Amino acid sequence: MTTTTLPRPDTAAGDRPEPVLSVRDLRTAFKTSHGIVRAVSGVSLDVYPGECLGVVGESGSGKSVTFASVMGLVKKPGWVEDGEILYRGRDLTRLSDRELRALRGKDIAMTMQDALTALNPALTVGEQILEVLRAHADDLPRGRAGRAEARRRAVEMLDLVGIPSPADRLNEYPHQFSGGMRQRIMIAIALACRPRLLIADEPTTALDVTIQAQVLELIADIRARLGMSVVLITHDLGVVAEHCDRVVVMYAGQVVETGPTRAVISDPKHPYTQGLLDSIPRLSDLSHPIRPIQGQVPELIDLPPECRFIGRCPKRTPDCRTGIDMRPAGPGRAARCILVGEETEA
């Protein structure tokens, strides 16, 4: 398959700076007893400095695997088959494990969906933050002064994520915190070294709505204060609508649509995005009927080159049998659908 050059998102500000992270034609596969599952097949996307990029998709869309690949966290029986992951011009796929470890946590940090299992239950919260600081913060002085400084920064991080009386709670264990607080702690650990890029994998899926709102606002607030980029991986288009500048919609291991959030939501170009939007009950208009997408996500084994949404698409045509690349679909937008070009011409 060919690598598609995605149109650069244009903004009112004019030319964008170079992306912080640029993924090109990424392919990640997993070996299973049924065959090789191509979880990510040819994903390309960019994350620009200071932006919040939403990555939306259902289970099996490859959204989490894409960023596990970026972090070098794909474990056997999975592997990155092909593609480039450019972080500020360096290809992460060519780095050694040691170089990657040095980058992880310091430049790029990731928070996991399930904070309870992602945190080490045997270590206090403070120890876990200090661990990251010791591993990455080069500016810490040696000896006792360094330890005191690291501790001070750990308290500062807990304070930053809104944990009351942070100095005391540093000595507590993860199970002593509520779900929302644990998610905050994971964000604190991720932010300990002030990364340029925070990848938040379903940060609020396990949380109640009122707590979800708190955590998302916290991420937005810290992004503004530290000037970092955030990738928000989620299945919830509502969360994207509220918090993300741009959105990447993924389906069955591919990017199917990308563009500025507002534009994509108000005028989706890909039938999958349209279907997704139609299947969500909207508080603003409950008389509006919800229309589910029929069928199931295809299994990602031995897929033919046809459009992956073909089995569920209400607008399918015989031409969909041939493979489709991303096509430009308006300013800063692209979609993987053969109808896109026609629509623009019409």
Partner 1 sequence: MTHMTTDIRRDAAATTATATGRAAEPPVLLRTTDLVKHYDSRRGLWGRITGRPGSLVRAVNGVSLDIRRGETLGIIGESGCGKSTLGRAILRLHEPTSGSVVFDGAEITELGRDPMMKMRRRMQIIFQDPYASLNPRKTVEDILIMPLKLHGLAKGKAARDAAAAMIENVGLKTAHLDRFPHQFSGGQRQRIGVARALILNPEFVVCDEPVSALDVSIQAQIIQLLAELKRELGLTYMFISHDIAVIGYVADRTAVMYLGEVVETGRTRDILAEPRHPYTQALLSAAPRLDEPGKAARIKLTGDLPSPLNPPPGCKFHTRCPHAMDVCRKVAPAPVADAQGHMAACHLIDGASGKAEAPA
Partner 2 sequence: MTTAVPASSAGASSAASPDRAARTQSPFWRNMRKFADNRLALASGVVVLLFVVMAVAAPLIAPHDPNATDLFRRLQPPAWMAGGEWAYPLGCDALGRDILSRIIYGARISIFIGTAVILVATTIGILAGLAAGYLRGWVDTAISRLVDILLAFPYLIFAIGLMAMMGPGLSNIVIALAYKEWVIPCRVVRGETLAAREMEYVEAARALGAGRARIMWREILPNILSPVVVVSTIRMANVIILEASLSFLGLGVQPPTASWGSMVADGRAFMLEAWWVSTFPGLAILLLVLSLNVASQGLRDAFDPKFHD
List of residues contacting partner 1 (CB under 8 A): 58-59, 178-181, 208-214, 217, 235-239, 241-242, 265-266, 275-286, 290-294, 296-297
Q: Specify burial of residue 13 (Cβ count, 10 A radius: 0-12, 13-18, 19+).
A: exposed
Q: Of the two residues 231 and 293, which places its CB atom closer to partner 1 in the complex?
A: 293
Structure tokens at 195: 């990364």
Q: Does 320 engage in binding with partner 2 (CB under 8 A)?
A: yes
User: With CB cut-offs between 5 and 8 Å by kind, which of partner 1, partner 2, none does residue 59 bind?
Assistant: partner 1
Q: In whole angstroms, give the CA distance from residue 244 to residue 216.
A: 11
Of residues 236 through 295, those in contact with partner 2 by CB under 8 A are: 294-295
- Residue 213 has a CB neighbour count (10 Å cut-off) of 14
Contact 111, 215 (CB under 8 A): no
The CB-of-339 to partner 1 minimum distance in angstroms stands at 19
| Shortest Å distance, C-beta 40 to partner 2 | 19
State the minimum distance, in angstroms, from the CB of residue 110 to partner 2.
24
Give the length of the chain: 346
Q: Nearest distance from residue 232's CB to partner 2, in Å? A: 27
- Measured distance between the N- and C-terminal CA atoms of the chain, rounded to whole angstroms: 28
Q: What are phi and psi of 181, to 5 degrees?
A: -65, -40
* Residue 190 sits in the site that holds partner 2 (CB under 8 A): no
* Min dist. Cβ of residue 251 to partner 2 (A): 15
Is residue 297 involved in binding partner 2 (CB under 8 A)?
Answer: yes
Instruction: Give the distance between the most distant pair of CA atoms in the chain.
Output: 71
Contacts of 121 (CB under 8 A, 6+ apart): 173, 174, 175
Distance, in Å, from the CA atom of 205 to the CA atom of 290, rounded to the nearest integer, reads: 22
Binding at 143: pick from partner 2, partner 1, none (beta carbon under 5-8 Å per type)? none
Residue 164 near partner 2 by CB under 8 A: no
96 interface partner picked from partner 2, partner 1, none, CB below 5 to 8 A per type: none
At 1, list the tokens: 């398959």
Comparing CB distances to partner 1, the nearer of 141 and 295 is 295
